[in-house]
Amino acid sequence: MDDETIVATPVWARAAVWTGGPAAGAGVGWALHELPGWLLRVPWLPLRGPLRLVDRLDEPAATFGALLLGAVAGLVLAGLIDRESLTVRLSRTEVTLTRPGTSRTVPRDAVAVAYPERDQLVLLGRTGRELAREPSHLDAGRLAAAFGPAWSARDPYAGSYHRWVPDRPDVPGEAAALFAARQRALDRGDGDDARELRDELARLGFVLRDEKKRQHFRRTDPVL
């Protein structure tokens, strides 16, 4: 088996998310449970009727319910945070990027550049095509040591991007439709749909960079 270099989110950090999230959520639930009684002391506050109903819930069920709902909300938040816990495995032949529920592997010799872009790790091929892009909060120094000469502190093509706007003459019809659909996904906050459409555009030879829900692109070779 090839020797592997592994760069991953520390186990203690992931454990802290899964334990701290529910604990914090339970604390917020308890605070919200105690809030109606305190708010009812403010004479000018509106919505006093609903607040009285909440304040009259039987104990200890009301407190237990608030703690339980808060803990469940904390678990959901912990799951969303943990989805971005990236593990990078580098062997002599492959680079594998793994997050809970997803994994992507590319040939090691196909990776010409690896670089961080805000909270993401990006891998580029020798023609500048994007091979992979994953959320990452990993230490840049550890990644630089793992990737070696392929590591770059910034996007080497940073000056080659153009902002997409509808009816650009240099964007063909099929790509324009995908750009428009992806813009709608970005506007409504649908990250999964935006990711799928990014992959579709990559196959047509477009590499994307988002800035405050604005799409920027550069051209490269399409995937045949």
Question: pLDDT tens digit string along 57-101?
Answer: 556 666 665 666 667 777 777 666 656 688 899 999 999 998 888
User: What are the backbone dihedrals phi and psi of residue 157, each rounded to the nearest 5 degrees, phi first?
Assistant: -105, 20
114 contacts 207 by C-beta, under 8 angstroms? no
Contacts of 112 by beta carbon, 8 Å cutoff, 6+ apart = 124, 125, 126, 150
CA distance 62 to 211: 44
Contact by Cβ (8 Å): 216, 163: yes
Q: What is the pLDDT of residue 173?
A: 93
Give the closest residue to 135 by CA, choosing from 188, 171, 82. 82
pLDDT attached to residue 101? 80
Q: For the chain, which residues score pLDDT lower than 50?
A: 1, 39-40, 45-48, 50-51
pLDDT number for residue 174: 95
Calculate helix-pair angle for 11-39, 61-82, nearest 10 degrees.
140
What is the rounded distance in angstroms from the CA atom of residue 30 to the CA atom of residue 49? 21
CATH 2.30.29: which residues of the chain?
87-156
Name the fold adopted by 87-156.
PH-domain like (2.30.29)
Tokens of 193: 């749909």
CB 40 within 8 A of CB 51: yes
Give the whole-angstrom CA distance, residue 189 versus residue 35.
Answer: 31
Model-wide pTM > 0.75:
no
Alpha-carbon gap, residue 86 to 188, rounded angstroms: 25
Q: What is the pLDDT of residue 114?
A: 96
pLDDT at residue 46, as a whole number: 47
